[in-house]
Amino acid sequence: MLGKIASSVSQTVYRLGIWYSGYRLIISISLVLIYLLTAEQLATNYDYPFLYFYTLICYISINIFQLFLLKLVPLQVTKQLIFIFIVDVICLSIITFSAGGPNLQLSLLYVIIIFSSAILLNAHLSLIVTLFAVIMVVYQRFLGNFFDYNNLNHLGNSAFLAFLFFVVHAIGRIAVQRFKILETLTFHQSIEIHQLQNINRYILEQIEDGYLVLDDSNHIVLTNPAANTLLGIHIPISPEKTPLLKWQPDLFELIKFSDLEDGEEFSFESQQSPYTINVRVKHLIVPEQALVLLILKDAQKLNQQVQQLKLAALGQLSASIAHEIRNPLAAIVQANELLKDSDPHQQEMLSRMISKQAKRIDNIVQDTLGMARNKPTDPQVIQLADFFESLLNEDLIDAKHMIKLNLTERINILFDQKQLSQVLINLIRNALRHNAVDAQYIEINVDLKDGRTCIDVIDFGTGVAKRDISQLFKPFFSTEIKGTGLGLYLSHTFCEANHAKLTYVERQQGACFRIECSKIH
């Protein structure tokens, strides 16, 4: 890993060195052109015009040679860069000397040289370049004093430039350290992203379901082998998006003008594939992109899985029924054997026992049949105030005085009315059975929470034990000896069929079963 980071840094330094070489060639050519265009008007601004001009010509020639050398022979890059910076400092010092000494415009070129050396060279070499530039700036003024003794006042400018060079060198080194940290972080992040991509690709390859991701132009963004098999296509691995029309025109014709809604399902057949495909639509939330995920499944295999689930459920149901019926049947058999040799009083008691156990078996069978029929729902808009008035006066007239209804708003919900009645009757009767002896009533609270309607059926008994909460809505689970364990399971099933949710809410005292569904305006 360290070798890869070092190689990446070397490549970056080499590219920056090429750019810097191009920059210095442009600067030197520009200075020559400026001199040629302004030599006659500004001849007095140059102390040694011929030295200025011929130094620039030599500087251009050396720059061209060094640029081609660095471009064509990318070896010993650090040594080539050292030679480039030394040439820059020497030529620029001669140019500033012949132009009358350091000035603001030419001093900026020194600053760029020092800053570039701080970035492209290591700390020791860049410091050497900085010291060499300081020496050239300071001592060229002393050399000028041999020719003009009136320029001693410029020594202060030279000293200030020398200080500025050290400041620029320090800033450049700090920038280099920051760049190295950022480059290391970027490199590690790129490795992590590459690893995640490989993991995701491996996971997608192992999944039996097909996944096809499309953009808003119906171009394929991502696909997995299962999708390719189901659609009868073979898309090569490529970072480029490919049009769906090219690979699966049948699917393209089916969805190109369709407004695919989230959760929508449809079946699809194609001449390219022998499969009947079940397609489910899922909209993906991606920044600045509108992507659609198509989840593809083999319809035949899906039907087989459904049948297997049905058989497994039937087996579980049969085992549960057999377990539940075994006890009352055993009691009936035992009572029937004792009936022959018993006196009239005992015969009457045993007959009542047989009748009671037979009725229990009938309840188990009836509840099981109600669950197995699984009739389709008939949802309709229900005004809860009117609904509860009818429910309490017709179905719960015997227990109406023990029910406190808290309903302040006129709220409408969408639900199958018969199934809602069955669910609430079951929950209310259950609450009445488990209510505290000294409690005068149970409560039904209807509220709006986060835009959804919540119907809470609350009693003030002992509540449900924590160990039993996870089992509440499973079939044939009951804490009562006489219970069949299907009431809460059927209520939960009916709520799910009406896109509602039945949950148990823990309280400090008593129990609360909550029906949560959408409000209809």
Domain boundaries defined on the chain? 2-187, 208-300, 302-373, 379-520
pLDDT tens per residue, range 415-460: 888 888 888 988 998 888 888 888 888 999 998 887 789 999 999 8
- The string of pLDDT tens digits covering residues 40-97 is 766 666 777 888 888 888 988 988 888 888 888 877 888 888 888 888 888 888 888 7
Angle (CA) 156 45 155, round 5°: 10
Give the pLDDT confidence score for residue 84 in this predicted structure: 86
CATH number of 379-520: 3.30.565.10
Q: Do 208-300 and 302-373 come out as alike in CATH topology?
A: no
Residue 154 has pLDDT above 70, yes or no: no
* Mean confidence (pLDDT) of the chain: 78
Task: Look at 21-25, 37-41, 380-384 and tell me which has the smallest mean pLDDT.
Answer: 37-41
Fold of domain 302-373: Helix Hairpins (1.10.287)
Burial label, 505 (beta-carbon count in 10 A; 0-12, 13-18, 19+) = exposed
CA distances from 257 to 86, 252, 253, 264, 267 (A): 68, 9, 8, 15, 17
Give one DSSP letter per residue of 425-489, joined into a string.
Answer: HHHHHHHHHHS-TT---EEEEEEEETTEEEEEEE--S----HHHHTTTTSTT--SSSS--S-HHH
Higher pLDDT, 396 or 324: 396
**Sequence-separated (6 or more) residues with CB below 8 Å from residue 28:** 56, 59, 60, 63, 91
**For the chain, what percent of residues have pLDDT higher than 90?**
3
User: Which of 100-104, 388-392, 449-453 is modeled with the greatest confidence?
Assistant: 388-392
How far is Cα 501 from Cα 517, in angstroms, rounded to an integer? 7
Give the pLDDT confidence score for residue 445 in this predicted structure: 92
Lowest mean pLDDT segment, chosen from 122-131, 174-183, 347-356, 408-417: 174-183
Cα dihedral angle (460, 462, 463, 464), rounded to 10 degrees?
-160
CATH code of domain 208-300: 3.30.450.20
Assign residue 60 a region (left: φ > 0; alpha: ψ between -120 and 50; beta: otherwise).
alpha
**For residues 87 and 70, is the Cβ–Cβ distance under 8 A?**
no
